[in-house]
Amino acid sequence: MSFRLRVLGLLVLVAVSATVATTWLVLRQASQQITDTANVDRAQAETIGTRLTDYGREHASWTGVAAQIQDLHRQTGQRIHLVTENGTVIADTDTLAGRTARPLGLVTSFVDPRPALALPAGADDKTLVGITEDLIRSYRIDALFSNCLSAAGIPVRVTSIRYGVPKLKADVSVDGAPSTTIDSCQERAELSWTPRESLQANLLDCLSLPGRQAWRLGLGPTQIPVPGATAGQSDDLDPKPCLAAAFTADIVDVAPLPARLYLGAPNDRAPLATGPLLAVAGGVAAVAILATALLSNRVLRPVRGLTDAARRLGQGDLTIRVPIRGRDELTELARQFNRMADSLQRGEERQRQLTADVAHELRTPLANLRGYLEALADGVVEPGPEIFASLHEEAVLQQRIVADLQELALAEAGRLTYHRGPVDLAELLDLCGTSHQPAAVAAGVTLSVAATPVRVTADPDRLRQVIGNLVGNAVRATAAGGRIELRAGPRGRDAVIEVADTGTGIAPEECPHVFDRFWRADASRARRTGGAGLGLAIAKQIVTDHGGTIGVASRLGVGTTFTIVLPATDGVGPRP
């Protein structure tokens, strides 16, 4: 896989993992907290509603309920708003706290503190009516009594519950409850009672509802005439629901009003618990960091290997190589690094070989010069023309070697000067053939030229230097009676020069080294006949600088052919 894709995949994996984990965490935490909050709110609403309902029933009024609501607010932290169905606000924790009331939250429950009459089963009609009348009287007196006590700040408690209707008394266990106030409230409540006829009217209204069969209840001296009914007539209709409805209707003016309970406000939001969120976020971050470290270690291991190899290479260890694994960009970089190391090692080896070769090539001529000079100085050898000619020849040879080395160094450094221009290779080969013809004749070798006009852009003097070197080597390698042929012509979009001879040839294992410095096909040849071995190295560099290639093909005892390929000039010369 591509290194770029691996890094991208790593980043995407970390980002997606962290995003998914964080999203899951937030959603789970929010969902859990919303669920918990909903459950808590529901439980709190039930608790608050029950407590307020009990308060209303126990006090038979909403007087003093503000203290109870504030206590519930402190316990639950909820904003509580209690309001009657006609819109009268009973209490609100916002206004009780001295601030402007906020918009109302959702209606959570309906609070009805009025007692629900639960008559006994098995009693006759007259008994049920009597119980109802007695409970109406008792509750109305207790309600008025409780209102009076609450207004005086005296607590009330339920002493008993009879048929669902509580019996209220002053809580004398509380210090500061004056008996005179209690007696006064009791007296005023009892004096307020007067016999009522509303029970019969409310009961009749209930029994006369559509769908109910008319009947007569035996109410003692007072009878309820019902149209269509005969005296003593009864049926299976249960009178208890109508009696309960009549009871509620008869106490409505003294019982506390039903109310609606609102909790919270529209802007109230339960904050998320940050502890678990931070803990899990820290865990996600730790996992992401660990995953990144592991993946980056796997991805960057080749980079560390390259860095270590480069450091060792810089310290002079040219044998270091980087293992090749995979097919990504880092693998290609490692491959190119190894090639560079190979090139540096070969260059170092060539440099050492060059130093050794130069020392070897200069050692013998310098030793000869030193020997002759010491002999002349000691009088062992008499100075004469032959001695001076030999010394001059040795000095010229050293000068030629130094000049060749300097030229090769300039060529390899790209500092060799070229004067390029259009060159016709046919004319160039004719000129080279003419200039080397005397040497060929002296060696008994036939030199011929067979060239087709083709032009290149090159430095003619440098090309003559290359061809001259090849021809000179061919003359030295070809025995008398042999042939040397110079050929040139187009090949596709290239121009080709060939120098072929019928000389001794070069062994196949030696062909790759013919362009090395100081290399000679025949190591036994003297420097004066075989040259310094730098000509072919210089020739190769010149051809390379012209954008061309030079190669050799040879067979021992058959001959050798050097081939130079150069880019032909566009539009000049024949094309296939």
CA distance 313 to 316: 5
Residue 259 CA, distance from chain mean position: 57
pLDDT reported for residue 571: 46
Distance of CA 524 to the CA centre of its chain: 71
Residue 5 has pLDDT above 70, yes or no: no
Please report whether residue 449 resides in a domain: yes
Question: Can you give the residue range of the structural domain that contains 551?
Answer: 419-567
Which of 397, 417, 437 is the last residue in one of the domains?
417
Quickly state the pLDDT bin for 177 (edges 50, 70, 90): low
Helix axes 240-251, 198-207, angle to 10 degrees: 140
| Same-domain pairing of 380 and 472 | no
What is the reported pLDDT for 225? 43
- Find the mean pLDDT for residues 239-246: 82
pLDDT tens digits, residue range 185-194?
888 888 877 7
- Regarding whether 131 and 238 lie in a shared domain, the answer is yes
Given its phi and psi angles, is residue 121 left (phi above 0), alpha (psi -120 to 50 degrees) or beta? beta
Has residue 309 been placed in a domain?
no
Residue 302 belongs to some domain of the structure:
no
Two structure tokens written together for 564: 């130079």
- Quickly list H helices, 384-449: 385-412, 425-443
If you average pLDDT over each of 18-27, 209-218, 423-432, which comes out highest? 423-432
Better-predicted residue by pLDDT, 507 or 20:
507
Question: Does residue 477 belong to any structural domain of this protein?
Answer: yes
Q: In what order do the strands lie in the sheet with 446-451?
A: 446-451, 483-491, 494-501, 559-567, 549-555
- Report the CATH number at residue 545: 3.30.565.10
* Most confident among 26-40, 163-177, 329-343 (mean pLDDT): 329-343
Shared-domain flag, residues 413 and 446: no
- Asked if residue 508 and residue 474 are part of one domain, the reply reads yes
* 407 and 425 part of one domain: no
Residue 412 sits in the same domain as residue 427: no
Confidence of residue 216 (pLDDT cuts 50, 70, 90): very low
Mean pLDDT for 76-83 is: 88
Q: Does one domain contain both 139 and 248? A: yes
CATH number at residue 376: 1.10.287.130
Residue 537 parent element (H or E): helix 535-545
- What is the pLDDT at residue 527? 45
Q: Does position 372 have pLDDT exceeding 90, yes or no?
A: no
Asked, for residue 468, whether it belongs to a domain, the answer is yes
In a domain, 346, yes or no: yes
Residue bearing the bigger pLDDT, 333 or 422:
422
Q: Check whether residue 412 and residue 478 sit in a common domain.
A: no
| Domain end call among 383, 417, 451 | 417
Is there a contact between 569 and 422 (Cβ–Cβ < 8 Å)?
yes
pTM here?
Answer: 0.42
In a domain, 60, yes or no: yes
Residue 545 has pLDDT above 70, yes or no: yes
User: Phi and psi for 100 in degrees, rounded to 5?
Assistant: -65, 135
Most confident of 75-89, 398-412, 469-483: 469-483
Burial call 240-256: b when 16+ CB within 10 Å, e when fewer? bebbbbbbbbbbeebbb
Q: Which amino acid is at 447?
A: L
Encoded tokens for 214: 């008319």
Q: Are residues 95 and 137 in the same domain?
A: no
DSSP codes joined into one string, 65-118: HHHHHHHHHHHH---EEEEETTS-EEEEHHHHTTSPPPPP--EEEEE--S----
Amino acid 228: pLDDT: 41
Q: Which two tokens stand for residue 210?
A: 């559509």
Tokens of 451: 């060239």
Query: Shortest CA distance to 500 belongs to which of 471, 527, 523, 524?
Result: 471
Give the residue-averaged pLDDT of 261-286: 69
Angle between the N-to-C axes of helices 329-378 and 3-59, in degrees from 0 to 180, rounded to the nearest 10: 140
CB 79 within 8 A of CB 264: yes
pLDDT at 127 over 90: no
Kindly tell me if the per-residue pLDDT of 458 is higher than 90. Answer: yes
Residue 90 lies in a domain: yes
Predicted confidence at residue 224, as pLDDT, reads 42
CA 93 – CA 101 distance, rounded (Å): 8
Q: What is the spatial distance between Cα 286 and Cα 487, in angstroms, rounded to a whole number?
A: 76
Q: What is the pLDDT of residue 176?
A: 56
Domain count for the chain, please give it. 4
Average pLDDT over residues 447-457: 94
- pLDDT of 475 reads 93
- CA separation for the pair 183, 170 (Å, rounded): 10
Same domain, 534 and 437: yes
State the pLDDT at residue 231.
41
Please give the share of the chain, as a percent, with pLDDT higher than 70: 78
Question: In the 8-state DSSP scheme, what is residue 398?
Answer: H
Q: What is the mean pLDDT of residues 103-117?
A: 82
Residue 221 has pLDDT above 60, yes or no: no
pLDDT higher at 266 or 495: 495
How many whole angstroms separate alpha carbon 185 and alpha carbon 187?
A: 5
Q: Is 7 exposed, middle or buried (0-12, 13-18, 19+ CB in 10 A)?
A: middle
Angstrom distance (rounded) from CA 169 to CA 451: 141
Alpha-carbon Rg of the chain, whole angstroms? 62
* Beta-ladder partners of 158: 168
pLDDT at 496: 96
What is the tens place of the pLDDT at every residue in 135-164? 888 888 888 888 888 788 788 888 888 888
Q: Say whether pLDDT at 184 is over 90.
A: no
Per-residue pLDDT, 394:
75
- Checking if the pLDDT of 226 tops 50, the result is no
Q: Are 223 and 216 in contact (CB under 8 A)?
A: yes
Nearest to 135 by CA among 155, 154, 157, 160: 160
Residue-level pLDDT at 576: 36
Regarding beta strands 483-491 and 446-451, do their DSSP bridges make them parallel or antiparallel, or are they unpaired? parallel
Q: Which tokens sit at 241?
A: 């629901």
Q: Specify whether 107 is located in the same domain as 35.
A: yes
- Half-sphere exposure of residue 55: CA atoms within 13 angstroms, side-chain side: 23
Find the mean pLDDT for residues 505-520: 81
> How many whole angstroms separate alpha carbon 187 and alpha carbon 169?
13
Q: Which of 417, 447, 480 is a domain's end point? A: 417
Closest by CA to 215, choosing from 202, 200, 225, is 225
CB 556 within 8 A of CB 505: yes
Taking the C-alpha atoms of residue 494 and residue 572, their distance in angstroms, rounded to an integer, is 11
Mean pLDDT of 64-86: 88
Give me 29's structure tokens: 């935490």
pLDDT band per the 50, 70, 90 thresholds, residue 172: low
Average pLDDT score over residue span 319-336: 82
Q: Does residue 181 sit in the same domain as residue 204? A: yes
The larger pLDDT score, comparing residue 455 to residue 326, is at 455
The number of beta carbons lying within 10 Å of the beta carbon of residue 429 is 23
Distance CA 265, CA 81 (A): 10
- Hey, which of 69-78, 122-131, 546-555 has the most confident mean pLDDT? 546-555
Q: What is the mean pLDDT of the chain?
A: 79
> Looking at the predicted structure, is the pLDDT value of residue 241 above 90?
no
Confidence of residue 570 (pLDDT cuts 50, 70, 90): low
Alpha carbon 439 to its chain's center: 77
Amino acid at 537: A
